[in-house]
Structure 1
């Protein structure tokens, strides 16, 4: 079959398309949906861009969805460069540009909200591209991807772009089931070969010993041999650690485990290079530009400061001047009075030297500036947290991992093979590098085989995190009724995976049931029902064991316990008489039958457990939806297949604490608040601290503190209703941003808030933007209540200064 549109499209690129890209585009031109799973940096987005091309040729719309606003902004710029500003729009919740354009880039949540609202913008929609679709595994936001996939009209062709996951075929099967004819294309060849290294002191050693390791593969084979020199260093490290422990005074010895290995060979410590030394080594080996992943915001900022303190410079005078001009032109639109508190001077000094940090604590404008300077080759080293690996187009010649563990919100844990692959996958710039390099810094106690294991594992399996929410339930019932909604939810990837697991469990259950029948047959007795007799023996045995445990629980027994023990003795005596009177008691093969019966009882217990597991997994999503609907019915939000007047505001509120917000609106809890007070109170439904803080949050006096206390009581009441229906959706309220939100709404300057508060500029802007978005949702949901005008005034108060500039 010929593909003239593809030929026309491919001619616009100055490089030949890869086989997997051509295959994906052919499937699209033939009218199928596609799932493309390929390594980071392999060029998956070419298939998405072909969907845009097809839509424009057919006079239809194409929506391009991304998981985060930074990616949406980046993709918008890419598409504008190809198709022009008039043809491309951007919708990210807080930014609206040309929303009715034929090509619109948006976050996935925006598309979900459009589908529930029945937006007219969906008319003539022909294609939807879901970039980074593996985000559906995200615990807090993953359900949105499945909602979109399930609810998109059948006439829309879906293009799903994913990182390499080990169960791409399973995900593709689900897509075919819910979306119709879908081709799954898995590419494991990297466009640029990746070589793995460990930096030990000043040495850059290969991780793998074999020179024929296929670095162009998506992952190294699991039996690839580890470099002998690394294994020797690890052995010597361990031996020196044991020797030091034997010499140490008793009580001061280490555990002998990995955390205590400090010396190598004859007792000399392995020199751990500092960050400046690492950069020197990379520059000497011509391995710049580099991304250095440090799993800490403070660590990234500290690394940049170390470069400044060491007077490091990686740029030529011409590059320095070009970087300064770009920063001044880009960030000059920010309020001048705010620049100093935002660390502008140090930022400008650092990027002019070719180094920068990149993390969520930075102002988005600063991060975007770093990305632009890096792509122009003016920033040579970026110290970043793992958030940079989430699809942003910043490939490097080299990726450096300082450590292989990170803080996960509760404790320090090793990164997973999937995270390792995602991070190191940034190495190797297509069209610029002939090879990419991943460098892990040697740490005391490191096991090279464990590092090799991560480098040779085929990333992570995609697991659904889908569950119905209150907002989802109201929107579904309003659109489809309860019965049809249940059917739709049973089409989720979560239920698809649960059903697949049930197949294996059901097979085990059938085998167990066959074995039970065999055991029962072996226990048959010609004198009577031996299983009945065995049941009497088992009951007597259980009662005697329980009595023995009770007696061993203490010498002093109260009157009630003595009476219970006496009753139990009488019960055992009665059972013994019944057992001895049973005809099977006289069977000469009694003990042989008893052994088979005992096996039957043990297997029967296991079988009942297995049956419960199957029951719990069958229709799990639909049963959870039923419980959500029961809660909403109790609260008066649903009446059978009807969303009541009370329930309609809930359909407009998209938040983890949607039910608390809807109840606060219903009860008039916010009616008499001022705009500043309202945004402060609403912040407790949006903000969630990165780490638990035992300190009492600072609150504005008066109405704010009172309403937050009332909302906490309301949340507790709702949690009790949830518990009655075996649900646990609502997280605790967090008032940690309430004082900052109030003072900002009251007009305090950003420098005072950042100096007195506990937030970085990036955190402050991000929280304010989320609060702007949520306050707008509350305004839309408030109907004719006084809250509508107050909320809109609150949005105007907080969308100012650097929040508006961003």
Structure 2
């Protein structure tokens, strides 16, 4: 981006004062933007930084400067954490190219490369585990980069981000990279509170401007009015008219700004458009190609939809590549897929997939084999692929910018119902549009569908993303680790530092402010209802009780005994009211009006006090319940001084991470899995890590023979006991273990081929690989903490399942 004379002058002064920043900036492909300069400047001066900027704005430059600073010293280290393994693999490759493979490591649970390197890329969970284990790898750690830190809001894994931020050594500088969340300043205030000096840098400027369009039949219409006579975010009048069923209007459309479409023939049909007139996918691709809007990512919120879209485009005969590009594609694919077995390639639909790649078209979703996804990413980055049909998982972190992004729908299935996408999701998806240094502008294209409201689309496109709310809650593993390290009371204080409690406390401050205002108003009402004859508050209480009793008598169908009881009390209260001194006051009704206002406000006041009580110390309250469960089960005990300490079982629990930490520890302690062979233990691990789909529940499954069935039954009994105990202590229970994939994992561990395993499970290859890697992760933990026979079985199980597509094509 071009700088103004004032900005260029400020930059030259800054570079003179900061030689390291000047040297770093000199080798970048682009001039650093103001937000990048401010962020890097903060790091250069020894502070931590939170950078919130749109997708594609160049936040990672700040992370790269942190790496640069660490590498200027003789032995300082930097950890780069990511939420997903694909992003870890990508960053590992980039850093290895820049700094040399001997200087870079990768730790993702199932991959361990050069862990003692000075630059180590890892998933956030790996760093959390290091902190709890007080790993020697933390020595000389100068910086931690937390990429996609807004993942902290994820309800399943988000707590790990907070654990890392709270427990990192004080001297480590934190580089937090976030999407443009609407409460970045609040998050920055929390970082300042728990980490010390932290600059909050927010930029909402895209380096490549985004042009947004709606595709109506064969015509791309600008979402916002581009006539130059209106405000930037005013909806195009033509779209408003189409939404009202009127095809007239004078808006402008891309590539045909002088044309007005077929007004007469289309009139009145856009609210319920003729589906036959909507362009099919091959036509949309051809139109994008004609308007020079490729390469494009088409987001379809369904894996099956992505695969179907590729087949549809291939059937149309579209070819988007030339001969040299096809040769380059085949060369890359054959080099990357050479480790895959021929029989597996057939199962994976390799030849059809390769045909799509050679014609410039591919799918990208979590059901694909990781090696296939990585090849698609590489080909797209090399500008060899022209169209990728992807699910929203592509929007997270992976570097795949396009000229255009197409959204076929603005709603998706969330596992329970179809829901509209959020402003944050829209920002993430459209953030892929526009390649810095290549495109003058990026383009987003939204398909017109029946009932589309242009105003709602405009609000999605113009709002500042979404708020980031904490999902932090203490777990059993967290509790024993922290109590062992700090003791119970210090742990409670540490947990009060969480972003969850920070947000709750902020809310409490606002509630308390409202409470004080209410109390001032109530004092005024109390003064206004003061009666010289007696206590009017007491008198008004009698009047209100009469009203309550009269409502009770008239409501429902009370029994004879209930009617008699109500009548007796009513007579007594009426008698007391008539005998009260205030009953004879000449200004009684005036006082009563003020009293009624006081009572109404008191009701609101009491409700507000309840909210404050529920939010104050909410994290510590949950921690107390967790520790009660652990003490009752014998994972924690009291020492001679009455302090909580971990037992031998608790020390085992310290090294078990995941949703089922307590259940795994309990099964190990009771010896429920003793005697299982490698395949049986792999099947048990699959039953614990697999999250059942809705249609899996209540189904009878084929189970492995032998000791597995008895062990599974005992595991189910242990889960039931723990679930009851948790509910007794007002903790949320968990889902029962699901053996839906136990037979498949047993077969795989026993040497079955990929084809037969996938056929039995109805799983996509990518899902099977992901499940197997989760199984490996759990088995690895068991192999470390279990006694010899079971530990040996766990190691044998890892060897049995870590084969074929599970490891082929991986970075390791």
TM-score bin (small chain):
over 0.9
Say whether residues 1:90 and 2:96 are aligned partners.
no
Going from structure 1 to structure 2, the CA distance change for 1:213 and 1:800 (only over 3 Å counts) comes to: farther
- Tell me, in whole angstroms, the C-alpha distance in 2 between the residues paired with 1:794 and 1:99: 24
What residue number does 2:465 align with?
459
For residues 77-116 of structure 1, the aligned pairs below 5 Å read 77-116=93-132
> In the alignment, does 2:191 pair up with 1:175?
yes
Q: Aligned equivalents of 2:672 and 2:375: distance in 1?
A: 43
1:584 aligned to 572, 575, 582, which one?
Answer: 582
Deviations 1:647-669 (A, max 9, x none): 11111111112111111112211
Partner of 2:501: 495
Q: Does 1:643 align with 2:646?
A: yes
Look up the SS of the partner of 2:244 in the other structure. Answer: helix
1:166 Cα shift? 1.4
Residues in 1 aligned to 2:272 and 2:760: alpha-carbon distance in whole angstroms: 52
- Aligned pair 1:733/2:737, yes or no? yes
Larger mean CA deviation between 512-521 and 55-64 belongs to 512-521
1:781 aligns with 2:785: yes
| CA distance in structure 1 between the partners assigned to 2:731 and 2:28 by the alignment | 52
Give the corresponding residue for 1:599.
597
CA distance in 2, matches of 1:434, 1:23: 25
Post-superposition offset of 1:692 = 4.2
Aligned counterpart, 1:558: none
Q: Which of these residues, 224, 233, 236, is aligned with residue 227 of structure 1?
A: 236
Q: Please name the residue that 2:19 is paired with.
A: 4
Corresponding residue SS for 1:730: coil
Which of 31, 37, 40 in structure 1 is aligned with 2:46?
31
- Name the CA distance, whole Å, in 1 between partners of 2:741 and 2:474: 28
Alignment of 1:253-332 (within 5 A): 263-264=269-270, 271-332=277-338
C-alpha displacement at 1:417, in angstroms? 1.0
Q: Distance in 2 between matches of 1:30 and 1:519?
A: 56
> Contact 1:63–1:129 (CA<8 Å) still a contact in 2?
yes
Q: Which runs of 5+ in 1 are unaligned?
A: 215-220, 240-260, 554-560
Shift of the 137–265 alpha-carbon distance from structure 1 to 2, 3 Å rule, reads closer
Aligned match of 1:714: 718
Deviation per CA, 1:472-521: give whole Å up to 9, x if none. 11111111111111111111111111111111111110111112222222
Tell me if the contact between 2:271 and 2:451 (Cα under 8 Å) persists in the aligned partners: no
Q: What's 1:688 paired with?
A: 691
Give 1:798's aligned residue: 801
Show the counterpart of 1:343: 349
Q: Which residue of 1 aligns with 2:478?
A: 472
Instruction: Tell me the CA shift for residue 611 of structure 1.
Output: 0.5
Measure how far apart 1:4 and its partner are: 1.1
634-643 vs 435-444, which deviates more?
634-643
Determine the C-alpha separation between the residues in 1 that align with 2:567 and 2:456: 59
1:345-494 correspondence runs (5 A): 345-494=351-500
- 1:655 to 2:658 alignment: yes
C-alpha distance in 1 between matches for 2:783 and 2:54: 43
**In 1: Cα distance, 2:340 partner to 2:113 partner:** 20
CA contact (8 A) 1:197 1:438 kept: yes
Q: How far apart in 1 are the matches of 2:236 and 2:502?
A: 43
Aligned-residue Cα RMSD (Å) equals: 2.0
- Preserved CA contact (<8 Å) 2:243 2:271: no
The answer to whether the 8 A contact 1:627-1:727 is kept is: yes
Count of aligned positions = 769
Q: Which whole-Å CA distance do the structure 1 matches of 2:237 and 2:579 have between them?
A: 75
The runs of at least 4 aligned residues of structure 1 exceeding 4 Å deviation read 211-214, 265-270
Distance in 1 between residues matched to 2:271 and 2:655, nearest whole Å: 66
TM-score (norm 1): 0.92
Contact 1:192 1:429 in 2 (8 A): yes
SS of 2:363's equivalent in the other structure is strand
Structure 1 residues 524-673: aligned runs within 5 Å: 524-551=530-557, 561-639=559-637, 640-673=643-676
Relative to structure 2, which stretch is displaced further, 228-237 or 433-442? 228-237
Tell me the equivalent position of 1:118: 134
Q: Structure 1 residue 107: deviation in Å?
A: 0.6
Aligned partner of residue 443 in structure 1, secondary structure:
coil
TM-fit CA distance, 1:444: 1.7
Equivalent-residue separation in structure 2 for 1:237 and 1:634 (angstroms): 70
Partner of 1:145: 161
| Secondary structure of residue in 2 paired with 1:771 | helix
Report if aligned partners of 1:108, 1:144 keep a CA contact under 8 Å in 2: yes
Partners of 1:697 and 1:665 lie apart in 2 by 25
**Per-residue deviation, 1:543:** 2.2
1:193 to 1:211, Cα distance in 2 relative to 1, 3 A: farther
Per-residue deviation, 1:697: 3.4
Q: Check the 8 A contact 1:201/1:270 in 2, yes or no.
A: no
Distance 1:701 1:515 in 2: 72
Per-residue deviation, 1:691: 4.4
Identify if the C-alpha distance between structure 1 residues 727 and 262 changes in structure 2 by more than 3 Å, giving closer, same or farther.
farther
- In structure 2, the gaps of 5 or more residues are 1-13, 249-266, 638-642
SS of the aligned residue for 1:647 comes to helix
Classify the secondary structure of the residue corresponding to 1:727: coil
- Using the TM superposition, give the Cα deviation of residue 735 of structure 1 relative to its aligned residue in structure 2, in angstroms: 2.2
Tell me the residue number matched to 1:202: 218
Aligned match of 1:760? 764
Distance 2:237 2:571 in 1: 72
SS of the equivalent of 1:236 reads coil
Aligned-partner Cα distance in 2 for 1:384–1:414: 18
CA shift, 1:26, in A, is 1.3
1: CA distance between counterparts of 2:55 and 2:556?
Answer: 62
Looking at structure 2, the residues matched to 684 and 136 of structure 1 have their Cα atoms a distance apart, in angstroms, of: 27
1:40/1:163 contact within 8 Å kept: yes
Deviations 1:393-428 (A, max 9, x none): 000000000110110111111111111111001000
700, 703, 707: which one aligns with 1:699:
703
Residues 77-97 of structure 1, C-alpha deviation per residue, up to 9 Å, x if partnerless?
A: 000111001100000000011
Structure 1 position 18, deviation (Å): 1.6
Give the match's secondary structure for 1:786.
helix
Is the 1:134–1:162 contact (alpha carbons within 8 Å) kept by the matching residues of 2?
yes
The more displaced of 571-580 and 477-486 is 571-580
Structure 2: distance between partners of 1:576 and 1:587: 16
Structure 1 residue 575: deviation in Å? Answer: 2.6
SS in 1 for 2:574: helix
* Matched-pair contact (CA < 8 Å) for 1:213–1:224: no
Distance 2:145 2:331 in 1: 36
Aligned residues of 1:39 and 1:425 also touching (Cα < 8 A): yes
Q: Which residue of 2 aligns with 1:674?
A: 677
Alignment of 1:23-62 (within 5 A): 23-59=38-74, 60-62=76-78
- Partner Cα separation in structure 2 for residue 763 and residue 318 of structure 1: 34
1:278-319 CA distance string (max 9 Å, x none): 100000000000000000000000011112211211110111
